[in-house]
């Protein structure tokens, strides 16, 4: 059982692919409203852990408790309905659709109307579609894309496409948002805009877990950071504690583990 204040609790999560243990006995807890950074060298198991939380992978053993409910065997769709949303490093857009329409897709995780109601455009369907549109416009405003609502999504530059993905996730009304390397490939101004967006979402008490290779980026926004290496948590603490942790320095082979947001 989760203790008071624990929003997401993982205990002994383990997953192997063939003879390789991608995640090995990982345990951690996240408090409601927390922004947790998750870093580690390539192949450390970060994305695999995210997929275990989102439901795209199921563990060989261990438990995952979200708001007091066991979820390790629930489908991604079931977890999305419970409020767990994920944005991926690779941008996934629906081409030929506007920015607003792309964001509205995220809202269908919480609708209740059936296909027959949608086919005949019955009242509940119409009301929910109106609500989705309003929520999508709110999400676009949150990420600063409201002026591009009627523009084709694929016409946006990469930084705004990443912001669109976050807006689509916000339209699903998430309780927990998983962000898989959202700063990857972004330039200076785009990185600063993303940093400001994450700070705003944190101020609005959205619970988030952020994967990033860029340690300096994570330390600017995440008050607490967990470090994975070879599928195991090797350190957990404040940004200053992580920067000085011997196991973290060793995991990065003694090379510089910061990367300025310029």
Residues 221, 174: Cα–Cα separation, whole Å: 20
**Site of tokens 């629930």:** 74
pLDDT tens digits, one per residue of 18-46: 889 999 999 999 999 999 999 998 889 99
User: What backbone phi and psi angles, to 5 degrees, belong to 196?
Assistant: -65, -40
Per-residue model confidence as pLDDT tens digits over 196-235: 999 999 999 999 999 988 888 999 999 999 999 999 999 9
Residue 204 phi, psi (nearest 5):
-90, 15
Q: Residue 10: is its pLDDT beyond 70?
A: yes
- Across the chain, mean pLDDT equals 87
- Hunting for tokens 């059936």 — which residue is that? 114
- State whether residue 231 is helix, strand or coil: coil
d(C-alpha 134, C-alpha 138), whole Å? 6
- Do residues 50 and 209 touch, judged by C-beta distance below 8 A? yes
β-partners of residue 15 are 23
Secondary structure (DSSP) of 36-62: EEEE-STTSSHHHHHHHHHTSS--SEE
| pLDDT at residue 78, as a whole number | 92
Token digits of residue 165: 């993905």
- At 105, which helix (H) or strand (E)? helix 99-105
CB-neighbour burial class of residue 228 (10 A; exposed 0-12, middle 13-18, buried 19+): buried
Kindly indicate the confidence band of residue 107, based on its pLDDT and cuts at 50, 70 and 90: confident
Among 69-73, 109-113, 161-165, the minimum mean pLDDT is found in 109-113
Q: How many residues does the chain have?
A: 262
What the chain holds in terms of domains, given with CATH numbers, is 1-83+175-262 (3.40.50.300), 93-173 (no CATH)
What pLDDT does residue 126 have? 64
> Measured on CA atoms in the order 213, 214, 219, 222, is the torsion positive or negative?
negative
**Chain CA centroid to CA 77, Å:** 15
């Amino acid at each position: 059982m989760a203790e008071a204040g624990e929003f997401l609790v993982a205990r002994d999560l383990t997953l192997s692919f063939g003879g390789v243990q991608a995640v090995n006995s990982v345990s951690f807890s996240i408090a409601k409203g927390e922004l947790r950074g998750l870093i580690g060298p390539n192949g450390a198991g970060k994305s695999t852990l995210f997929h275990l939380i989102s439901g795209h992978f199921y563990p060989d053993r261990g438990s995952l408790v979200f708001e007091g409910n066991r979820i390790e065997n629930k489908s991604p769709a079931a977890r999305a309905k419970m409020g767990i949303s994920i944005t991926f490093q690779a941008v996934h857009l629906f081409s030929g659709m506007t920015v607003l329409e792309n964001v509205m897709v995220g809202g269908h995780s919480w609708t209740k109307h059936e296909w027959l109601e949608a086919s005949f455009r019955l009242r509940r369907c119409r009301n929910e579609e109106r609500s989705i549109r309003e929520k999508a416009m709110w999400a676009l405003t949150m990420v600063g894309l409201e002026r591009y609502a009627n523009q084709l999504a694929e016409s946006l530059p990469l930084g705004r496409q990443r912001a669109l993905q976050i807006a689509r996730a916000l339209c699903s009304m998430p309780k927990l948002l998983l962000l898989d390397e959202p700063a990857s490939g972004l330039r200076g101004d785009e990185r600063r805009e993303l940093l400001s967006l994450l700070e705003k979402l944190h101020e609005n008490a959205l619970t988030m877990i952020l994967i990033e290779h860029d340690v300096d980026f994570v330390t600017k926004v995440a008050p607490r950071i967990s470090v994975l290496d070879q599928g195991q948590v090797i350190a957990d603490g404040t940004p200053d504690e992580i920067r000085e942790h011997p196991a973290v320095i060793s995991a990065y082979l003694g090379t510089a583990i910061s990367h300025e947001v310029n």
